[in-house]
Chain A
């Protein structure tokens, strides 16, 4: 892509009025014709004052609309910015900026950065930051905030820790530390031994129903860069992805922040158990078309986050049919749940569907996050799995921006090659997650809070609509605030997940110990 010269962006020259934060707004508030107003006769004064005053207030109005988060006044709640239809060069650049900053403010950081800064009032981030600063600790800070907004699995850490204690030194030092060892540059898309080990592990979790091919895989430092990278490869600035809602707040970041790609939510309702239908996909697609947005694909999570549903085989087929009809991509973000005892639910990986049916494999891309599956959040490994060679090649090059440390890779290779350990771990981890899930959901039930039927994920989707007044987003956020500041529980309100029905909350419970569950329930009871 030649860096062709953009058309002039018609921004007025910056005037430096940088405040302490260094952000510059360049709308000058001009008090015009002061001199005239001070002098002259009556009629002239009035004739001057009124238009001046109007002009003055108009500028103030525009200036307040242009604020880019540089002062203490709370900006309005985050909205999806209006996107103008893509046009020619100049218009295109303007519409690009408007994705991040509706009025294209000329502050000293980029529009992308300004957009991120505005997120400060998003309850998801407020909750995370606050609970970070006032973190619950049984001994040191028993009155602190219990974090139920971060989806991470601490339940089987001790199992991993024991293994690491026994094997680390050997994994690192006995290996050749030297030139070709762990300290040197290595392929950014992951060591081939690790890819093979990961492919083997994934197949093991799926009990052999899918065989994963390491050559179709690239490894990166987590699910977020994996998703972002795919979005960069599949869509241009200003394009859009359809995403069934409610969806994880992280997707707003992963899909939109740096790429300039838009999300069109595909609302799902509790009346259908939040399942995804072709009709709603079509509706969303048409909406996008009306707004002049080119849809490049659909991004689904399986199990869905935050609801916890497994996508049925039928849903997956319908999704692929829809994608084929519109000639767009499908990105599936899968957490490897593996086969479950419950005969009513089975986890079907997109990889399985793609293998068996005659769909164009080049439109399907799968992302896996090892952090959750093997409870190794610190390791930060994400997998991009694709059959599209161009995408694989491009993402391979992009991996240089988010590569996994060779240290972590070596450890993981050793760990995955210890198949006895992996088998044990999968079994123990599953049991513990199930137990915690039953405990937590049961606890909520006793409080009169019902949850969506869980698929054994590490979170639950709770219906607290009976406890909010009014039955609206406002009521939901009031309850969220009470939970955070009074009950000292950080949960994720459904509005952050773009749920169209107020009152739903996501609770991530896999970072708790069993002992803490009654405490959590007690605290929640306080504010109901």
Chain B
């Protein structure tokens, strides 16, 4: 070879590849690292960090396990040769019809039959993360914005913005009215975006809310829908925690509101759902976009080629989700168990002198540590968060990573551990607060 020439620094990469819009450097994720390095274990590592930053549902796992063990044979794809052939070959973006029917049926069950779902409007994606990103690609162009009420799930910064180039403009909510979304806040957010010459394409709400752990009231849903109609924008309702509302009648889906309006103006509405939270099956990567807009359904279906669910997964779950006896039982017991956990943690925290937002859904509670902050600032919030992480050895999520406008709030997950572990966590918090008071 000729003279060795030193090449200039490597061939260029995209902005997406080198940016930090993935947001994984935020405290939300930093806490996970601390847990990974020193995970709590009842026996092997009782002084380790307890993970309370991961919203995973393990309280009803035994029900799933029981079902799978009993029914795996019958869901075996070896049943008929032709059955296997059609099913395994469904790499197509339409997805297995039986699975789409099963998803539609399950979504109806979760809403207690108060809304109907059409399997032809179900578009399958590999998880709700992909569903939210997919909808963003479809509804907004780079530089456009979605309005999202604060506090919101930190992952949205990545899921809605990273590859799509779309912006998030926050709808500010505060504790004065339990963080509910008000028409004034909606208008203010919209006006703010417009004043910066940013085109608003839609509102994205999470109902029940993450991180608040509370359902959105019917009246508020109606107001949000009216607002979206007035501004001629879309409404995305991420209902991933719909099956985790403690009382079935306290959860109102946007689907019910639309049904009561005879689906007038419904083509601006889209629902995101997944089996990761309600069914505790995050590993299976099952999500869905349900849209009342034909064009969105068609486009989403075609784009779902980028995020397909394996046919084995579809096949396995199709029979489980269509089994009404099982799903009814599961949903009911799951709600009860989550409620029990919630009460346990709320009471435990109360005994320690900590108040939480009154919640009625989800896998977490929204804890108020603002009375314990040195100053009402994010700096103080992060300081106390670090202390809790390193000294109390609990990983909880600070409100600032959820873009909460008031410092001092924290999201604490309770469904990803055993009751015993939760007791240990509560004891540690108790001790911590006691010491701080001294």
Q: Are B138 and A378 in contact (CB under 8 A)?
A: no
Q: Are B76 and A169 in contact (CB under 8 A)?
A: yes
Is the C-beta of B305 less than 8 angstroms from some C-beta in chain A?
yes
Residues of B within 8 Å of A97, CB to CB, are: 141
Q: Are B144 and A110 in contact (CB under 8 A)?
A: yes
- Alpha-carbon separation in the docked complex, A352 to B8 (Å): 25
Is the C-beta of A168 less than 8 angstroms from some C-beta in chain B?
yes
Is the C-beta of B182 less than 8 angstroms from some C-beta in chain A?
no
Q: Are B285 and A404 in contact (CB under 8 A)?
A: yes
Contact flag A173-B313 (CB < 8 Å), given A116-B302, A185-B56:
no
Q: Are A168 and B76 in contact (CB under 8 A)?
A: yes
Q: How many A-B residue pairs have CB under 8 A?
A: 281
Is the C-beta of B3 less than 8 angstroms from some C-beta in chain A?
no
Contact flag A405-B309 (CB < 8 Å), given A109-B296, A397-B24:
yes
* Stretch in contact with the other chain, from B77-85, B320-328, B364-372: B77-85
- Alpha-carbon separation in the docked complex, A328 to B196 (Å): 37
Which listed residue, B21, B54, B310, touches A380 by the CB 8 Å rule?
B310
Task: State how many angstroms separate the Cβ of B399 from the closest Cβ of chain A.
Answer: 21
Q: Are B61 and A178 in contact (CB under 8 A)?
A: yes
Is the C-beta of B140 less than 8 angstroms from some C-beta in chain A?
yes
- Alpha-carbon separation in the docked complex, A263 to B434 (Å): 64
* Stretch in contact with the other chain, from B126-134, B354-362, B379-387: B126-134
Is the C-beta of B188 less than 8 angstroms from some C-beta in chain A?
no
- Alpha-carbon separation in the docked complex, A161 to B282 (Å): 26
Residues of A within 8 Å of B138, CB to CB, are: 109-110, 112-113
Is the C-beta of B403 less than 8 angstroms from some C-beta in chain A?
no
- Alpha-carbon separation in the docked complex, A161 to B11 (Å): 45
1/0 per residue, CB under 8 A from B, across A483-515: the answer is 000000000000000000000000000010000
Is the C-beta of B253 less than 8 angstroms from some C-beta in chain A?
no
Q: Which of A76-130 contact B (CB under 8 A)?
A: 93, 96-97, 108-113, 116-117, 119, 125
Residues of B within 8 Å of A109, CB to CB, are: 138-139, 293, 295-296, 299
Residues of B within 8 Å of A162, CB to CB, are: 78
Range for the number of chain B residues in contact with chain A: 35 or more
Is the C-beta of A279 less than 8 angstroms from some C-beta in chain B?
no
Is the C-beta of A411 less than 8 angstroms from some C-beta in chain B?
yes
- Alpha-carbon separation in the docked complex, A225 to B310 (Å): 14
Q: Which of B1-43 contact A (CB under 8 A)?
A: 1, 7-8, 10-22, 24
* Stretch in contact with the other chain, from A195-203, A230-238, A470-478: A230-238
Residues of A within 8 Å of B310, CB to CB, are: 221, 378-380, 404-405, 407-408
Q: Which of A288-323 contact B (CB under 8 A)?
A: 296
* Stretch in contact with the other chain, from B62-70, B101-109, B239-247: B62-70
1/0 per residue, CB under 8 A from B, across A1-30: the answer is 101011111010010101001111000000
- Alpha-carbon separation in the docked complex, A89 to B197 (Å): 13
Q: Are A183 and B280 in contact (CB under 8 A)?
A: yes
Q: Are B299 and A183 in contact (CB under 8 A)?
A: no
1/0 per residue, CB under 8 A from A, across B300-312: the answer is 0011011111111
Residues of B within 8 Å of A33, CB to CB, are: none
User: Which one of B16, B56, B85, B286 has the greatest number of beta carbons of chain A within 10 Å?
Assistant: B16
Contact flag A362-B10 (CB < 8 Å), given A221-B308, A377-B88:
yes
Task: State how many angstroms separate the Cβ of A375 from the closest Cβ of chain B.
Answer: 10
Residues of B within 8 Å of A378, CB to CB, are: 87-91, 310-312
Q: Are A407 and B316 in contact (CB under 8 A)?
A: yes
Residues of B within 8 Å of A253, CB to CB, are: 302, 305
User: Which one of A70, A235, A391 has the greatest number of beta carbons of chain B within 10 Å?
Assistant: A235
Residues of B within 8 Å of A221, CB to CB, are: 126, 285, 307-310
- Alpha-carbon separation in the docked complex, A232 to B167 (Å): 18
Q: Are A3 and B11 in contact (CB under 8 A)?
A: no
Q: Are A401 and B126 in contact (CB under 8 A)?
A: yes
Q: Are A405 and B313 in contact (CB under 8 A)?
A: yes
Residues of A within 8 Å of B100, CB to CB, are: none
Q: Are A405 and B302 in contact (CB under 8 A)?
A: no
Q: Which of B91-129 contact A (CB under 8 A)?
A: 91-92, 94, 126-127, 129
Closest A residue to B75 by beta carbon equals A168
Residues of B within 8 Å of A228, CB to CB, are: 306
Q: Are B76 and A3 in contact (CB under 8 A)?
A: no
1/0 per residue, CB under 8 A from B, across A175-203: the answer is 00111011111100000000000000000
Contact flag A398-B163 (CB < 8 Å), given A403-B126, A407-B313:
yes
Task: State how many angstroms separate the Cβ of B75 from the closest Cβ of chain A.
Answer: 9
1/0 per residue, CB under 8 A from B, across A211-237: the answer is 000000000011011001000111111
Is the C-beta of B227 less than 8 angstroms from some C-beta in chain A?
no
- Alpha-carbon separation in the docked complex, A358 to B303 (Å): 39
* Stretch in contact with the other chain, from A57-65, A151-159, A266-274, A331-339: A151-159
- Alpha-carbon separation in the docked complex, A195 to B115 (Å): 43
Is the C-beta of A426 less than 8 angstroms from some C-beta in chain B?
no
Residues of A within 8 Å of B196, CB to CB, are: 5
Contact flag A405-B305 (CB < 8 Å), given A96-B142, A113-B299:
no
- Alpha-carbon separation in the docked complex, A76 to B18 (Å): 39
Residues of A within 8 Å of B18, CB to CB, are: 390, 394
- Alpha-carbon separation in the docked complex, A404 to B143 (Å): 30
User: Which one of B90, B140, B306, B311 has the greatest number of beta carbons of chain A within 10 Å?
Assistant: B306
Closest A residue to B19 by beta carbon equals A1
Residues of B within 8 Å of A345, CB to CB, are: none
- Alpha-carbon separation in the docked complex, A18 to B232 (Å): 10
Q: Are B283 and A116 in contact (CB under 8 A)?
A: no
Is the C-beta of B179 less than 8 angstroms from some C-beta in chain A?
no
Is the C-beta of B341 less than 8 angstroms from some C-beta in chain A?
no
Task: State how many angstroms separate the Cβ of A92 from the closest Cβ of chain B.
Answer: 10
1/0 per residue, CB under 8 A from A, across B132-163: the answer is 01000111111110000000000000110101
Which listed residue, B1, B64, B197, touches A5 by the CB 8 Å rule?
B197
Q: Are A22 and B268 in contact (CB under 8 A)?
A: yes
Is the C-beta of B430 less than 8 angstroms from some C-beta in chain A?
no
Q: Are A1 and B21 in contact (CB under 8 A)?
A: yes
Q: Are B307 and A401 in contact (CB under 8 A)?
A: yes
Is the C-beta of B395 less than 8 angstroms from some C-beta in chain A?
no
Task: State how many angstroms separate the Cβ of B396 from the closest Cβ of chain A.
Answer: 18
Closest A residue to B301 by beta carbon equals A116
Which listed residue, A3, A18, A157, A160, touches B167 by the CB 8 Å rule?
A3
Contact flag A177-B65 (CB < 8 Å), given A132-B92, A402-B126, A403-B126:
yes
1/0 per residue, CB under 8 A from A, across B247-285: the answer is 000000000000000000001100000000000111111
- Alpha-carbon separation in the docked complex, A172 to B196 (Å): 53
Is the C-beta of A351 less than 8 angstroms from some C-beta in chain B?
no
- Alpha-carbon separation in the docked complex, A409 to B22 (Å): 25
Closest B residue to A410 by beta carbon equals B283
Which listed residue, A168, A259, A380, touches B91 by the CB 8 Å rule?
A380
Closest A residue to B155 by beta carbon equals A400
Which listed residue, B8, B17, B90, B161, touches A394 by the CB 8 Å rule?
B17
1/0 per residue, CB under 8 A from B, across A125-154: the answer is 100000010000000000000000010101
- Alpha-carbon separation in the docked complex, A9 to B141 (Å): 11
Q: Are A407 and B283 in contact (CB under 8 A)?
A: yes
Residues of A within 8 Å of B184, CB to CB, are: none
24 residue pairs from A and B, CB less than 8 Å apart: A3-B21, A3-B167, A22-B294, A109-B139, A112-B137, A116-B298, A164-B77, A165-B76, A183-B280, A184-B282, A222-B305, A232-B14, A237-B142, A253-B305, A257-B303, A258-B303, A327-B12, A328-B11, A363-B10, A379-B312, A400-B129, A401-B159, A403-B126, A407-B310
Q: A112-B138, A394-B18 are in contact. List 13 more A-B contacts (CB 8 A).
A: A21-B295, A22-B268, A110-B140, A161-B77, A184-B56, A185-B283, A232-B14, A232-B17, A232-B163, A378-B89, A378-B311, A402-B126, A407-B310
Which residues from chain B sit less than 8 Å from chain A, CB to CB? 1, 7-8, 10-22, 24, 54, 56, 58, 61, 64-65, 68-69, 72-73, 76-78, 81, 84-85, 87-92, 94, 126-127, 129-130, 133, 137-144, 158-159, 161, 163-165, 167-168, 196-199, 201, 232, 234, 267-268, 280-286, 293-296, 298-299, 302-303, 305-313, 316
The 7 closest A-B pairs by CB, nearest first: A6-B143, A22-B267, A1-B19, A165-B78, A378-B311, A406-B283, A378-B88
